[in-house]
Amino acid sequence: EAMDAFARQKRFLMNVGDVKGKILTQALARSGAGNVLELGTYCGYSAILMALHLKGSGHVDSLEMNPGNAEAARAIIDFAGLSEKITVHTGAAGDIIPSLGRQYDLVFIDHWKNQYLPDLLLIESSEVIKPGSYVVADNIGMFDATGYLDHVRDSGRYDNTNHQAHMEYNDTIFDAVEVSILRH
Enzyme catalytic residues: 110, 113, 138-139, 168
Residues forming beta bridges with residue 179, ordered by sequence position: 136, 161
Return the HEC string of 98-117. HHCCCCEEEEEECCCHHHHH
CA pair distance 19, 169, nearest whole angstrom? 8
Q: Which residues contact 157 (CB under 8 A, 6 or more apart)?
A: 124, 182, 183, 184
